Amino acid sequence: MTDALAIAADVRAGRRTAEAVTARTLDAIARLNPHLNAFTQVLADQALSDARRLDAALVAGAAAGPLAGVPFGVKSLFDVAGLVTLAGSVIRRDAAPATADAPLVGRLREAGAILVGLLNMDEFAYGFVTENAHYGPTHNPHDLTCIAGGSSGGSAAAVAAGLIPLSLGSDTNGSVRVPAGLCGVFGLKPTLGRLDRQGVFPFVDSLDHAGLFARSVTDLAVAYDLMVDDRPGSLAADLDAKAARVLRVGVLGGWFVLGAFPEVLESLERAAKALDATPGVELAGAAAARSAAFCLTAYESARLHDRDIASRPGDYDPAVRDRLLAGARLPDDVARAARAFRPVFRDAVRRVFERFDVLLAPATPCPAPGIGQATMRLDGEPVSVRRNLGAYTQPISFIGLPVVTVPIGRPGFMPVGVQVIAPAWREDLAFAAARRLEVLGVAAAHRPAVFA
Amino acid sequence: MSLAPKLAFHDLDDEALRILAEPKEGEAAFSPACRSAVLEALQGLRAHAAVVAAAVASASDRDPDESFAP
């Protein structure tokens, strides 16, 4: 599988048909997905039918979209017309099928992309590991004994393994950035509210973002351009020019390196050096922001599931059920306090951005832990894997800032990701710095040895 | 600074404990493993809530800007 733009260029030029690309993709999924468990549902017949329809339209002289013939997958919480939106659960199996595609899915299809399947996730997006009790764990393509991260683990693993060049996911506390980092691909979590969440099964209304994964910054930018409503012009078209400009870059210290593994710190240093970044930038209140995100997540998600968790607790993934039950007992004043802290932290960060265009931070404290691994050591202390993989991502999504996660090139080693964080609504700055790291050869989505 | 703040068990909410340990009719009964996991999760949440409450208290005299405007 090549990158999305190369596939689209081939299909537009008639060098490959969309049907041939789709058939090859489906063959690869059939061979490799049993090892990965990235896809939970493959839409083979529909994908081939869509591809043939596109080929026929192109032969008849129709204009080819920017993603003509590009295979893509979506996290199983996006609505796809005619399918039940399971959101990684079994409790929704009896729900009515979606009557329309989620708008973001529709945008990619309108651009000529071919939807080939739905991707595994933590149940209802509540987790950082994608060890789903109903559908099994998604395996990291770089080491099948390790987790892919979550909650968009299937979306990241499928792109990392080269099965598809593009996928959709969601990020509430780190669910794009954690798996992107652990699987070694590029991930975008845009500004809160930037991308349409209609048709995306909710988790935490005040924190949910839609996002995406790709193997290059340019693919990420082209897909992002297609999905944005409120920004004139093309981010992708200006990307190389913006990447060539000198940016003011800071590296977050304090909370954002607490307990980080040596290879994580080394990767952060490589990115910082390439961008001539200022080290040791402090975001005052980051620990409290993380705690506030934790509380708000528990509080809001529990209320969303209030009826089902009371009547059908046995139908939930136990890891999710237990946290929903705990969240249901949180008093309202905890949520009020968490919400009250949000503008306080946002203002503090905004002041830091007066000195910097982008900030760098690790995506995770460590490379991918093993599947089934309950604890890891951070700062000398044994802590829960499930609760702490998002320690560095939660403060950032709490205030909705845009982030491009870049994989720091470490061929032969487990991937490590770095968050490139920009001020609200300035995705262009995060993309520019990410593209510069890619051009300099610091960031790259290396193909895992077993899937090369 | 720790990634896993802890609070004492006695800070847990009495009603939460009652529902989990002694469910009334109409309330789901939970296994000991589930109760244990929920109580552990509640402990974590209580600890996080305490961190947030302290941060809000220290910033209570401010008038933060609610907008996302750049």
**Would you state the structure tokens that stand for residue A278, as one six-digit string?**
């200022």
Known catalytic membership, residue A384: no
Judged by CB atoms closer than 8 Å, whether chains meet at A258 and B54 is answered as no
Asked whether the beta carbons of residue A313 and residue B55 sit closer than 8 angstroms, the reply is: no
- Quick check: is A75 catalytic? yes
Bridge partners of A421? Answer: A359, A403
- Catalytic, A167? Answer no
Residue B39 lies in a domain: yes
Q: Which residue type, as a one-letter code, is found at position A54? A: L
Whether B43 is covered by a domain: the verdict is: yes
> pLDDT for A182-194, tens place per residue?
999 999 999 999 9
Residue B66 has a pLDDT of: 47
Query: How close does chain A come to B18, measured CA to CA in Å?
Result: 11
Residues 6+ apart with CB under 8 A from A339: A206, A296
% of chain A with per-residue pLDDT over 70: 98
* ipTM given for this complex: 0.90
Q: Are β-strands A143-147 and A186-189 bridged in parallel, bridged antiparallel, or unpaired?
A: unpaired
Residue B62 reports pLDDT greater than 60: no
List phi, psi (to 5°) of A174: 145, 15
| Cβ pair A292:B52 closer than 8 A | yes
Mean pLDDT calculated for residue range A135-156: 98
**Which residue(s) pair with A267 in the sheet?**
none
Cβ–Cβ < 8 Å for A47, A73: no
CB atoms under 10 Å from CB of B53, counted, come to 20
The arithmetic mean of pLDDT across residues B3-8, rounded, is 42
Residue A271 has pLDDT above 80, yes or no: yes
Structure pTM? 0.94
Does residue B42 fall inside a structural domain? yes
From chain B, the residues in CB contact with A426 under 8 A are: 70
Give me the residue spans of the domains in chain A.
4-451
- Does residue B51 fall inside a structural domain? yes
CATH number of A4-451: 3.90.1300.10
Mean pLDDT of chain A: 95
Separation between Cα atoms, residue A395 and residue A14, nearest integer Å: 47
- How many other CB atoms are found less than 10 A from the CB of residue A229? 9
Report the residue of B35, B45, B63 to disrupt the A interface, i.e. the one with the largest count of A CBs within 10 Å. B45
Is residue B7 within 8 Å of residue B47, measured between CB atoms? yes
CA-nearest residue to B56 within chain A is A341
Distance CA A56, CA A71 (A): 17
pLDDT digits 0-9 by tens, A202-233: 999 999 999 999 999 999 999 999 999 866 66
Interface contact flag, B68 A291, Cβ < 8 Å: no
Residue A344: burial class (beta carbons within 10 Å; 0-12, 13-18, 19+): buried
Q: Position A208: which residue type? A: D
Three-state secondary structure string covering chain A: CCCHHHHHHHHHHCCCCHHHHHHHHHHHHHHHHHHHCCEEEECHHHHHHHHHHHHHHHHCCCCCCCCCCCEEEEECCECCCCCCCCCCCCCCCCCCCCCCCCHHHHHHHHCCCEEEEEECCCHHHCCCCCEECCCEECEECCEEEEECCCCCHHHHHHHHCCCCCEEEEEECCCCCHHHHHHHCCEEEECCCCCCCCCCECCCCCCCCEEEEEECCHHHHHHHHHHHCCCCCCCCCCCHHHHHHCCCCEEEECHHHHCCCCHHHHHHHHHHHHHCCCEEEECCCCHHHHHHHHHHHHHHHHHHHCHHHHHHCHHHCCHHHHHHHHHHHCCCHHHHHHHHHHHHHHHHHHHHHCCCCCEEEEECCCCCCCECCCCEEEECCEEEEHHHHCCCCCHHHHHCCCCEEEEEECCCCCCCEEEEEECCCCCHHHHHHHHHHHHHCCCECCCCCHHHC
- Is residue B48 situated within a structural domain? yes
State whether A344 and B48 contact (CB < 8 Å): no
Which tokens belong to A422? 């920009």
Chain B CB contacts of A353 below 8 Å: none
Give A378-419 pLDDT, tens digit per residue.
888 899 898 899 999 999 999 999 999 999 988 889 999 999
Interface test with B, best of A128, A194, A295 (most B CBs within 10 A): A295
Who's near A393: CB < 8 A, 6+ residues apart? A171, A173, A174, A177, A178, A363, A364, A403, A419
How far apart are alpha carbons A221 and A399 in whole angstroms? 22
| Residue A79: alpha-carbon gap to chain centroid | 17
Rounded Cα distance between A141 and A36, Å, is 7
Residues 6 or more apart in contact with residue A184 via CB below 8 angstroms? A142, A160, A407, A415, A417, A445, A446, A448
Once rounded to an integer, what is the mean pLDDT over residues A333-346? 95
Residues in chain A with CB shorter than 8 Å from the CB of B18 are none
Residue A121 tokens read as 């996730």
CB count within 10 Å of CB A217 equals 29
pLDDT digits (tens, 9 = 90+) for A30-66: 999 999 999 999 999 999 999 999 999 999 999 999 9
What would the pLDDT profile of A239-261 be if each residue is shown by its tens digit?
Answer: 999 999 999 999 999 999 999 99
Q: Do the domain assignments include residue B6?
A: no
CA–CA gap between residue B38 and residue B31 (Å, rounded): 11
- Can you give the residue range of the structural domain that contains B41? 31-57
Of A283 and B38, more confident: A283
Residue B25 lies in a domain: no
The reply to whether residue A326 touches residue B42, judged by beta carbons under 8 angstroms, is yes
Mean pLDDT of A116-139: 98
Residue B61 in this model has a pLDDT that exceeds 70: no
Q: pLDDT band at residue A6, thresholds of 50, 70 and 90?
A: very high
